[in-house]
């Protein structure tokens, strides 16, 4: 399906050069022409609060009403049948239904209500049961296969005459797999042809359309659900934080409301319990002033969408064609031994756009059929500038169903430290989630091809002879950069889908489908496994070669170059001045090497005698920053989020901001963490944290890396000589002089290890090699937490100090919490 896009509209999509965005189910990208039309509107008109009666406020009110009609028109219905209630998003719309539905609780003379929902539902739908439980209304989960058998639950004529209201919710399209559930269920359930459960009463239908309407037309003139919640950013990308609940006017009079906010009352008394609501359903339920400028932006969203694409039916065909092509190619990918490269989680064969949306959910497998964790896949994809979604996608029910995760597994995973949204992708070798790619109306064939080439390059490229390096050097570091998400814009494009065969894709690719890029030589793999799979471990390490500190590094500015010393103070927060400063963008968000690799070219050094930090970079005059905190009135105090903790910081001033902005060629500022930790007294894990790791044998594609280069890449705090690789994985705690450090958990490496710390260039294969050597994981080292003594004086860490480890009885190291795991830069 080819979309009708004029050539002069090619600049109407915003992309950063080289980015392949494949998370359209998460959010659409907005076209530049939408922003231009909206800002032109704001320049040419003045909009006031629609609750006022002046001329500009009347213009606002009339424009909002026009947008309501435009939304109804988009869904092929009118104000005679439906009312638009603006909300902050789909989730708020669902909550509104839960609070306003006329539930009949247990324990009354009437039969009680039931809330039934498809298990393949978003968290925000399942969460309705929290409200129903408080109202003493039972909730009943229904599996997709069970609804097809519900014809057996047909009610007698007498039972259908019962007026007890029940609510059934299901998604028009699964946000997990893209499965489209029949819209015919709406009428079948309302008419009694299908009954989720056998109970007297009248069924109403809540159709979760948030995922569906982003790429498919919805005709409410035909499929008249009672409630339809949507989020507009899923369709347009902008504005965010705006949604709507479309309410069937036949059910609207039955809805109940307790709270009344500004604009919802026709009259009320402050001194007595008297309130009379407005007649309009929309005004009755829209508490306070609606987000009127965002609503006005929707008008331009609909205009631009129609102009660029020709309508939702064309978007449906376009996005499905991309998904079907990608699905078919993925299904053909095999290893040399015939094993599949991916396991796709789908209920369809991608042959019909009426039953399958533009979403592909999968896990990547190794040659033995074992799942490669989604976190590892996400990290590798980001090295190729491909943006995907991973985890369970706020749909635990579908995740359990497709991945075979039991209720007991979910509870065990929670006990093992895994929570929704973290990057713990495997527990006991079993996946906790998967990878999802999704296409939108601005997606192109090149996007699909780029993704497929990425899979081929990382799983099926030629096996090169790799020159290993060996070392028994061990490092302590704080490096494990947070999984932040780079912002994106784009070079506007919407390419038609050419007819290209799978054979042409392979011919166009420089990779051939032979196995081995992630597979180390057998002898090497065995030696690595032997190094980590010791069984009998004594309580303390006895005998053997002594372990000593050989190098000490600190990183005064997060994600910038290292500063090497021979001895250094260690306080409650770790090495003195280590990662005390960080560079932030104009929005106050921390910038790391993942977004800006040139940070590694900035060289800070600390002069304790002069009490200054000197910052240098090629082509720039050196600049200095005082080590003494600026507590004067001119200091700009703010709060920043570092390692999932809020910390008090202050800005280092315009002069320093100008230096960094000039070098990085983007607006940015330098901020410093305040030593006043009182605001963090309620937070856990605020002590200094170090991570400990060992250099091991990593296959190289070209020349072997020198030990110094490896230390730079892994951004160590302390380098230690050790007789055995991975020896630190046996340790429960260590002592270095007066220092006592407790093991917290394994250190999961991120994409920064792929950046050459002297040039800023990326090497994609580096992380692949680490994954192979560590058995499909990117764990390398362990976190340590400083256990300071009561003395107010800092301890001194020196090169040459002996390291005394205490071994643990249980070989398995539990991963740190997500906040600990992300403390780095």
Cα–Cα distance, 538 to 805 (Å, whole number): 11
Q: Widest CA span of the chain, in angstroms?
A: 91
Closest Cα to residue 806, out of 724, 723, 736, 726?
736
Q: Which of 90, 392, 394, 600 is the catalytic position?
A: 394
- Residues 6+ positions from 215 with CB-CB distance below 8 Å: 24, 312, 315, 316, 319, 320, 357, 358, 439, 440, 441
- The vertex-431 CA angle with 784 and 456, nearest 5°, equals 100
Q: How far apart are CA 749 and CA 822, in angstroms?
A: 10
- Between CA 596 and CA 664 the distance in angstroms is 8
Cα 395 from Cα 404, distance rounded (Å): 14
DSSP secondary structure code for residue 814 in this structure: P
Provide the CB-side half-sphere exposure for 210 (13 A, CA).
31
Number of helices (H) and strands (E) in the chain: give both, helices first. 22, 37
List CB contacts of 435: < 8 A, sequence separation 6 or more.
361, 362, 363, 364, 374, 377, 378, 388, 389, 390
Angstrom distance (rounded) from CA 563 to CA 47: 55
Q: Burial letters for 434-457: b for 16+ Cβ neighbours within 10 Å, e otherwise?
A: bbbbbbbbbbbbebbbbbbbbbbb
Number of Cβ within a 10 Å radius of residue 333: 18
Which residues have C-beta within 8 Å of that of residue 816, sequence separation ≥ 6? 417, 744, 745, 746, 783
Residue 644 half-sphere exposure, CB side, CA atoms within 13 Å? 16
Cis ω on the peptide bond leading into residue 771 (within 30° of 0)? no
Kindly give the pairing relationship between strand 274-277 and strand 265-269. antiparallel
Rounded CA separation 142/696 (Å)? 50
Distance from C-alpha of 244 to C-alpha of 83, rounded to nearest angstrom: 10
Q: At what angle do helices 445-459 and 374-383 cross, to 10 degrees?
A: 110
* Spatial distance between the Cα atoms of 711 and 621, rounded to a whole number of angstroms: 28
Q: Cα–Cα distance between 546 and 723 in angstroms, integer?
A: 8
* Helix or strand run (H / E) with residue 157: helix 157-160
Burial of 273 (0-12, 13-18, 19+ CB in 10 A): exposed
Which stretch of DSSP H or E encloses residue 452? helix 445-459
Angstrom distances, CA of residue 609 to CA of 625, 627, 628, 747: 14, 10, 12, 34
Torsion of CA 426, 428, 430, 435, to 10 degrees: 0
Cα of 583 vs its chain's centroid, Å: 22
Q: What is d(CA 331, CA 746) in angstroms, rounded to the nearest whole number? A: 35
Task: Please say if 754 is a catalytic residue.
Answer: no
CA angle 39, 43, 48 (to 5 degrees): 100
CA distance 119 to 169: 10
Residues taking part in catalysis: 394
């Amino acid at each position: 399906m080819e979309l009708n896009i004029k050539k002069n509209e090619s600049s109407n999509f915003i992309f950063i050069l080289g980015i392949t965005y494949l998370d359209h189910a998460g959010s659409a990208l907005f076209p530049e022409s939408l922003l231009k039309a909206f800002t032109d509107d704001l320049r040419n008109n003045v909009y006031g609060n629609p609750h006022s009666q002046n001329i500009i406020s009347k213009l606002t009110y009339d424009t909002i009403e026009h947008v309501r009609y435009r939304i109804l028109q988009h869904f092929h219905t009118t104000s005679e049948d439906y009312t638009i209630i603006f909300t902050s998003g789909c989730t708020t719309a669902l909550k509104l239904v839960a609070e306003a539905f006329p539930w009949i609780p247990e324990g009354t003379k009437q039969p009680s209500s039931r809330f039934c929902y498809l298990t393949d539902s978003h968290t925000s739908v399942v969460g309705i049961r929290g409200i129903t439980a408080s109202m003493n209304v039972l909730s009943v989960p229904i599996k997709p296969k069970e609804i097809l058998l519900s014809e057996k639950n047909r009610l007698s004529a007498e039972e259908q005459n019962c007026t007890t209201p029940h609510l059934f919710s299901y998604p028009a399209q699964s946000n997990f797999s893209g499965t489209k559930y029949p819209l015919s269920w709406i009428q079948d359930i309302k008419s009694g042809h299908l009954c989720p459960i056998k109970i007297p009463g009248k069924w109403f239908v809540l159709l979760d359309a948030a995922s569906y309407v982003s790429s498919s037309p919805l005709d409410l003139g035909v499929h008249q659900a009672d409630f339809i919640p949507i989020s507009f950013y899923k369709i347009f990308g902008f504005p965010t934080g705006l949604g709507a609940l479309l309410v069937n006017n036949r059910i609207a009079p039955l809805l109940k409301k307790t709270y009344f906010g500004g604009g919802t009352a026709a009259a009320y008394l402050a001194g007595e319990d008297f309130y009379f609501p407005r007649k309009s359903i929309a005004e009755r339920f829209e508490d306070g002033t609606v987000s009127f400028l965002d609503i006005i932006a929707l008008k331009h969203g609909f205009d631009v969408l129609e102009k660029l694409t020709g309508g939702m039916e064309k978007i449906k065909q376009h996005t499905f064609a991309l998904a079907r092509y990608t699905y078919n190619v993925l299904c053909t990918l095999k290893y040399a031994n015939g094993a599949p490269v991916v396991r796709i989680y789908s209920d369809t064969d991608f042959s019909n756009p009426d039953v399958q949306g533009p979403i592909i959910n999968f896990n990547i497998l190794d040659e033995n059929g074992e799942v490669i964790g989604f976190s590892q896949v996400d990290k590798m994809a980001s090295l190729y500038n491909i943006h995907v979604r991973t985890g369970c996608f706020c749909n635990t029910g579908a995740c359990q169903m497709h991945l075979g995760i039991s209720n007991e597994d979910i509870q065990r995973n929670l006990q093992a430290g895994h929570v929704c949204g973290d990057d713990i992708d495997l527990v006991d070798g079993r996946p906790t989630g998967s990878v999802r790619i999704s296409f939108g109306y601005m997606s192109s064939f090149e996007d699909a091809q780029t993704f497929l080439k990425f899979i081929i390059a990382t799983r099926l490229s030629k096996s090169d002879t790799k020159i290993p390096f060996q070392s028994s050097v061990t490092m302590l570091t704080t490096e494990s950069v947070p999984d932040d998400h780079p912002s994106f814009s784009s070079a506007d494009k919407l390419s038609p889908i050419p007819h290209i065969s799978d054979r042409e894709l392979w011919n166009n690719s420089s990779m051939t489908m032979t196995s081995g890029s992630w597979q180390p030589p057998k002898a090497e793999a065995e030696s690595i496994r032997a190094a980590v799979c010791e069984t009998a471990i004594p309580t303390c390490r006895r005998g053997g070669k002594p372990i000593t500190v050989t190098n000490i590094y600190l990183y005064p500015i997060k994600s910038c170059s290292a500063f090497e010393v021979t001895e250094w103070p260690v306080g409650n927060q770790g090495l003195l001045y280590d990662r005390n400063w960080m560079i932030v963008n104009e929005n106050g968000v921390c910038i790391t090497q993942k977004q800006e690799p040139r940070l590694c070219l900035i060289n800070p050094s600390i002069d304790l005698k002069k009490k200054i930090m000197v910052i240098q970079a090629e082509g720039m005059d050196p600049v200095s920053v005082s080590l003494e905190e600026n507590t004067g009135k001119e200091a700009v105090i703010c709060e920043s989020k570092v390692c999932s903790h809020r910390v008090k910081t202050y800005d280092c001033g315009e002069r320093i901001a100008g230096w960094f902005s000039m070098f990085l060629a983007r607006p940015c500022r330098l901020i410093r963490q305040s030593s006043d930790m009182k605001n963090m007294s309620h937070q856990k894990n605020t002590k200094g944290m170090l991570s400990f790791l060992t250099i091991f044998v990593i296959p190289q594609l070209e020349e072997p890396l020198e030990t110094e280069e490896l230390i730079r890449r892994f951004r160590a705090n302390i380098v230690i000589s050790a007789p055995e690789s991975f020896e630190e994985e046996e340790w429960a705690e260590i002592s270095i002089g007066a220092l006592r450090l407790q093991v917290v958990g394994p250190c999961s490496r991120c994409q920064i290890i792929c950046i050459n710390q002297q040039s800023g260039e990326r090497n994609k294969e580096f992380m692949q090699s680490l994954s192979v050597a560590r058995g499909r994981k990117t764990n390398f080292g362990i976190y340590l937490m400083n256990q300071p003594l009561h003395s107010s004086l800092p301890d001194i860490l020196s090169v040459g100090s002996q390291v005394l480890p205490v071994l643990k009885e249980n070989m398995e190291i539990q991963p740190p919490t997500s906040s600990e795991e992300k403390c780095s830069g």
